[in-house]
Amino acid sequence: MTEPKRKITLLIALALVGVAIIVGWGLVRGKGGGDGLVANGTIEATEVEVSSKLPGRLAQLLVKEGDQVQANQVIARLDTSEIEAEVAQAQAALARAGAQLKELLAGSRLQEIEEARANLQQAEDNLKLARDEWDRFDNLFKEGAISAQERDQAKNKVEVASSQVKATRERYEMIRIGPRPETIEAARHERDRAKAALEMAQVRLRDSTILAPLSAVVLTKRAEQGEVVNPGFPIVILIDPDDLWLRVYIPESEIGLVGIGQDALVTVDSFPNRRFEGKVVEISSKAEFTPRTVQTKKERVNLVFGVKISLNNHERLLKPGMPADTEIKTGGGGSKRTGHPPSAGWSRLNG
């Protein structure tokens, strides 16, 4: 090859290298030629599992997938026949314990006191008669008119009458003074125990109605009406369609360009001509290897930082699980994360 041809070939090669550099730089700068990072990821949302606190059979399931529910809206109801019986039983026990305590606190009625006094008077009269009879029989025995057995029977009557007087006097004093403080306190504790049992049964009855904890959309239905569910088993899974975000992963070498509060534009395949507004709200404080959801094995061995971008979804067009691309604006000031000024231009990144 002659010297002139060699020079021409060299010039052509240099020109091609220059073109390649320019094209490559254009790819690095990304779409639109602005200041920012381009990354991709998947739209996510907080999933809330709604479950029952009690075991039981689903008597009603009032929602289906895709339904919009409001906070405290009834989602499902368990069969409550057994719990309702528990509530009725606890109500009866509380009423009985309350009546007993009320009776003790009221003390003895005047009629009861008068009846006890009359019984005591009768017992004392019987004792007087028994003693009079004993005196007469004792004299007759001394005169030899009656046997010792007859005299002993009269003596036994005195002892029986004396015991009756003692018992009726104690009964009279107890009724006159009223119940002892210990008895009242025991009745009060029984009333409180019955009240607590009723409250527990009523809580179980309330918990048999399963409510939505927030305004959301039913993403998945995990149980069917008539099934028996256990505590903690998710009956439905809810998401808040107004609280969506995009999770992307930025290489360690570029994370200094990203800061909290930076604006982002997001695109999805379902709406290729639309750009959705976003904002960086979270940056991972610890590097990790790229998750396995990233396509190439080469990229998965890189150290990256997770970045969370909140999305404006007031039109309800975005859905969890959608793949999306984002452009994080990095120009016009330093990063809130590192304090270092960002470099100009776009970097082509894969999350």
Kindly state whether residues 151 and 57 are assigned to the same domain: no
Q: Over pLDDT 70: what percentage of the chain?
A: 81
pLDDT band at 88 (very low <50, low <70, confident <90, very high): very high
Q: What's the pLDDT tens digit per position in 190-238?
A: 999 999 999 999 999 999 999 999 999 999 999 999 999 999 999 999 9
Q: How confident is the model at residue 351 (pLDDT cuts 50, 70, 90)?
A: very low
Query: For residue 142, which phi and psi values (nearest 5 degrees)?
Result: -65, -30
Does the pLDDT at position 158 exceed 60? yes
Answer yes or no: do 212 and 287 share one domain.
Answer: no
> What pLDDT sits at residue 15?
47
Q: Which domain holds residue 271?
A: 31-45+242-348
Residues 222 and 311 in one domain: no
Give buried/exposed letters for 108-136 (b at 16+ CB in 10 A, else e): beeeebeebeebbeebbebbeebbebbee
Q: Verify that 344 and 316 share a domain, yes or no.
A: yes
For the stretch 53-73, pLDDT in tens is 999 999 999 999 999 999 999
| Res. 51 pLDDT band, cuts 50 70 90 | very high
Domain count, the chain: 3
Would you state the pLDDT for residue 280?
95
- Whether residues 212 and 68 share a domain: the answer is yes
| 24 domain residue, yes or no | no
pTM for this entry: 0.59
CA atoms of 57 and 59, how far apart (whole Å)? 6
Residue 276, SS3?
A: strand
pLDDT confidence of residue 291: 64
Rounded Cα distance, 53 and 47, in Å: 19
**Mean pLDDT, rounded, for 128-135:** 91
Write down the mean pLDDT value for the chain: 82
